[in-house]
Amino acid sequence: MKSFIVIGMGRFGSAVATELYKLGHEVLAIDEHEELIGKIADHVTHAVVGDAKDEAVMRSIGVRNFDCVIVAIADSLQDSVLTTLMLKELGAKYVICKAQSEMHMKVLQRIGADRVVFPERDMGQRLAQNLSSTNIIDFIELSKDFSIIETSAPNSWQNRSLKDIGVRSEHGLNIIAVRGADKEKVVVSPPGSYIVKANDVLIVVGANSALNKVRDL
């Protein structure tokens, strides 16, 4: 079990806090709006009404004792930045921040946020990837140049071995897992001898330029 502080009980913050609690972790939720704290109180370990920008409040919570702090207040760039700066100064071990724009993201990265997430952009990218091809089921960006996709087996790959297809040698891709038609049978790191079946779902990692070609197969 890990311990988390989630600051800001908007849609994103409350969703993260609730899910972490469901997964069995200790979650402290904080927001300056009593109404929002009232709604989340039964779905987290502790719920506190308070101003996360107030150093005295954060000191009393003991941020350095938690494994991770999630700053989910993105509506105000100033509040987000000030809160992140204070958390780092107070010795928070790992700070994840939500950004609302590319500029916001860059600022948070510059001031020391350990990780910055951009839910709206990320979801938009995943939706666009899904809509652009009937093969693509899901999409996760690892970096600007590399991603992971979940795709149904291309017609030209079906009933052939991974070695024969040349997934790595010809396409520059790696199949990290294959999920069968029953969705319960998963083959992790399939060998070159694995025969791709019509109903297989492939989890593929590689350069975006190579992944884009999978759509046309």
* pLDDT tens figures, 97-138: 998 888 888 899 999 999 988 876 665 555 555 545 556 566
pLDDT of residue 145: 79
Instruction: Confirm whether pTM is higher than 0.85.
Output: no
* pLDDT tens figures, 175-190: 989 988 776 688 888 9
DSSP of 36-72: HHHHHGGGSSEEEE--TT-HHHHHHHTGGGSSEEEE-
Instruction: Report, as ranges of residue numbers, the positions in the chain whose pLDDT lies below 50.
Output: 131
Collapsing DSSP to helix, strand or coil, 101 comes out as: coil
What type of residue is 197?
K
pLDDT of residue 125: 57
Q: Where are the beta strands (DSSP E) in the chain?
A: 3-7, 26-31, 46-49, 68-71, 95-98, 115-117, 136-141, 146-152, 173-179, 186-188, 201-207
pLDDT of residue 209: 84
pLDDT of residue 84: 94
Enter the tokens of residue 63: 């941020």
